[in-house]
């Protein structure tokens, strides 16, 4: 991707008042997130740092993408023993039975194989999803009321 394309992308983001944009093309990845609707945070990988700075020098650049990759690798290693609770269907994820009710599962909560941890709405049917593993909820990977795909991890459970 050349610098002119990056400038066009940035201009389109400004004109359309987008708060987030992410794209990957032939090994080049760009992610732009605006904070408070004004300042943008740009992360690019797949091109030398000098070219990145020339792309849009006024936008703050994140530290080297390698640092982000190292943090992600460290988190992945720490989560290696955790068991994911995956979505068995496509639908909309809900943490609680009603908007004003307490969530089925929270971080730090103990669950059994038969514990209901969430509801996934599919075709106007509310499907209770069970943990299918005993342990402690360590992470909730999905925001409430968002779409989920078949096999998508929803929670991470520490079985120990």
pLDDT in tens, 90-100: 999 999 999 99
Q: How far is the C-alpha of 137 from the C-alpha of 130, rounded, in Å?
A: 13
Specify the higher pLDDT residue, 60 or 103.
103
No. of helices (H) and no. of strands (E), the chain:
3, 11
Domain 83-158 has what CATH class? Answer: mainly beta
Q: How far is the C-alpha of 80 from the C-alpha of 65, rounded, in Å?
A: 22
Q: What are the boundaries of each domain within the chain?
A: 3-76, 83-158
CA 84 remoteness from chain centre: 15
Nearest 5°: CA angle at 66, between 41 and 21?
30
Residue 111 backbone phi and psi in degrees, to 5: -130, 155
For the question of whether the overall pTM of this predicted structure is more than 0.85, the answer is: no
pLDDT at 51: 47
Contact 40, 21 (CB under 8 A): no
Is the pLDDT confidence value at 43 over 50?
Answer: yes
Q: What percent of the chain has pLDDT over 70?
A: 70
Nearest residue to 120 via CA among 109, 128, 111: 128
Residue whose tokens read 């929670």: 155
Is the pLDDT confidence value at 139 over 80?
Answer: yes
Specify the higher pLDDT residue, 62 or 148.
148
pLDDT in tens, 13-41: 777 777 777 777 767 777 777 665 555 55
DSSP 90: S
Is the pLDDT confidence value at 53 over 60?
Answer: no
């Amino acid at each position: 991707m050349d610098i002119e394309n990056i400038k066009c992308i940035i201009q389109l983001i400004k004109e359309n008042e987008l708060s987030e944009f992410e794209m990957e093309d032939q090994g080049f990845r760009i992610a732009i997130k605006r904070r408070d609707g004004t300042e943008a945070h740009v992360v690019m990988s797949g091109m030398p740092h000098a070219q990145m700075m020339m792309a849009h020098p006024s936008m703050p650049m994140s530290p080297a993408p390698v640092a982000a990759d190292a943090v992600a690798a460290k988190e992945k290693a720490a989560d290696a023993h955790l068991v994911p609770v995956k979505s068995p269907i496509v639908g909309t994820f809900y943490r609680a039975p009603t908007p004003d009710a307490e969530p089925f599962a929270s971080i730090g909560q103990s669950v059994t194989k038969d514990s209901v941890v969430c509801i996934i709405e599919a075709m106007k049917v509310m499907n209770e999803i069970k943990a299918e593993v005993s342990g402690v909820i360590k992470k909730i990977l999905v925001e409430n009321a968002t779409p989920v795909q078949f096999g998508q991890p929803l929670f991470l459970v520490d079985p120990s």
